[in-house]
Amino acid sequence: MPDLSKITCIEDLRRIARRRVPRMFYDYADSGSYTESTYRANEADFQRILLRQRVAVNLEGRSTRSTMLGEPVAMPVALAPTGLTGMQHADGEVLAARAAKAFGVPFTLSTMSICSLEDVAEHTGRHPFWFQLYVMRDRDFIERLIERARAANCSALVLTLDLQILGQRHKDIKNGLSTPPKPTLANLLNLATKPRWCLGMLGTRRRSFGNIVGHAKGVGDMGSLAAWTAEQFDPRLNWADVEWIKKRWGGKLVLKGIMDAEDARLAAQSGADALIVSNHGGRQLDGAPSSIQALPAIADAVGQSIEVWMDGGIRSGQDVLKARALGARGTLIGRSFLYGLGAFGEAGVRRALEIIQKELDITMAFCGRTQIDQVDRSILLPGTYPTP
């Protein structure tokens, strides 16, 4: 096992992942749509928020422990659903789920994962994880997917609402993104510089979309998958579909992709258990506000009627603390754990979580708090943070 003690921040992991992961898959994770203005704002807007340092406070007995959906968590952080995680590192979803389980935070598996629901369940045992659902035109397939999530011991369903149509990501088009990579000269030359990644992929059978291939009608290989995916994302998705899914699932439901206070009120009225303030990591509507900018108005609009979480731009424990101060009961990290996965596999995900928790704990202490549940807007310097 590598000694990762000198890896001190998420940026360290990002730089190593960029060297080790093939270009098309690194770019897939680390890019936004069109001009990438929203993608950049997600990070930059956190930096504009300043913290109030407090002194002469007893800082013994600190804890970052909290709950999300009533489940105990080591800190208010979950691993976000990310597509093609198993292309950042062989068996990526399984490794990330194991790291999350060991650390005590939730893991969310994407519909567009490489490892399947059953693969992850096999390695997490009785420890539940969450499943993120995309709504497809094929409702029979969606029903079967929900049943598979139930059988896999998933304790919550995360319904993504902002991917009825795809935002254009220029890098994916230029790189000819495909799973597995097409054997073009450019790809082969790039893969030749990533021996660690290639050896890992040679050692696994998981190289396609495990939740779809062999499960959706007419999709038996990667060739038929491309055509199926292009026509299956359902642009007709509406609140009636949310109600239908809630009834079919019957368990805890989280709605992901809320960026407007009115949509947040509708989410609360739908009977969902939590909503995620999210612009899909800046990968959908370029020109939308950052998630942290949108958070206070949404938290104010729904009050305590539904748990409010957020994702987008979280690269440190300080970011988690700021989100908590502005009304987020929980947060989700995507790129931060993917950098760790691409750099060092399971150990890298664990290191990313360690870094974020340590930053969260120390920053909370400097702000004069010892329990994460004591954190509110008073830890922030007035005039530096967005307001409702």
Q: What is the pLDDT along the chain (388 residues), one digit of tens a residue?
A: 678 999 999 999 999 999 999 999 999 999 999 999 999 999 999 999 999 999 999 999 999 999 999 999 999 999 999 999 999 999 999 999 999 999 999 999 999 999 999 999 999 887 899 999 999 999 999 999 999 999 999 999 999 999 988 899 999 999 988 888 888 999 999 999 999 999 999 999 999 899 998 888 877 665 666 678 778 888 899 999 999 999 999 999 999 999 999 999 999 999 999 999 999 999 999 999 999 999 999 999 999 999 999 999 999 999 999 999 999 999 999 999 999 999 999 999 999 999 999 999 999 999 999 999 999 999 999 999 999 9
For residue 373, give the nearest of 321, 308, 295 by alpha carbon. 321
Binding residues, by number, are: 28, 81-83, 110, 132, 134, 160, 169, 256, 278, 280, 283, 311-315, 334-335
Are β-strands 330-333 and 252-258 bridged in parallel, bridged antiparallel, or unpaired? unpaired
For residue 314, give the nearest of 134, 46, 28, 2 by alpha carbon. 46
pLDDT at residue 245, rounded to an integer = 97
C-alpha 72/C-alpha 286 separation (Å) is 35
C-alpha 307/C-alpha 274 separation (Å) is 4
Is the preceding omega at residue 180 within 30 degrees of 0, hence cis? yes
Helix axes 346-366, 317-325, angle to 10 degrees: 50
DSSP 76-131: SEEEPP-TTGGGTSTTHHHHHHHHHHHHT--BEE-TT-SS-HHHHHHHHTTS--EE
pLDDT at residue 358, rounded to an integer = 98
pLDDT at residue 119, rounded to an integer = 96
**Rg value, the chain, Cα:** 20
Binding residues for glyoxylate, by number, are: 28, 132, 134, 169, 280, 283
Whether domain 10-379 has CATH 3.20.20.70: yes
pLDDT at residue 2, rounded to an integer = 77
pLDDT at residue 224, rounded to an integer = 67
Residue 386, Cβ density class (10 Å: 0-12 exposed, 13-18 middle, ≥19 buried): middle
For residue 332, give the nearest of 313, 346, 318, 347 by alpha carbon. 313
CA distances 215 to 138, 158, 221, 317, Å, are: 12, 20, 11, 39
Degrees to nearest 5, angle at CA 348 with 347 and 353: 100
Binding residues for FMN, by number, are: 81-83, 110, 160, 256, 278, 311-315, 334-335
C-alpha 297/C-alpha 41 separation (Å) is 17
Encoding tokens for residue 235?
């642009």
Are β-strands 66-68 and 71-73 bridged in parallel, bridged antiparallel, or unpaired? antiparallel
**What are the residue numbers of the active site?**
280
Maximum separation of any 2 CA atoms in the chain, in Å: 66
Contact 281, 311 (CB under 8 A): yes
Overall pTM > 0.85: yes
Encoding tokens for residue 266?
């509708």
pLDDT at residue 127, rounded to an integer = 84
For residue 336, give the nearest of 52, 1, 3, 17 by alpha carbon. 17
Tokens 């970052």 correspond to 64
Domain coordinates of the chain in residue numbers?
A: 10-379
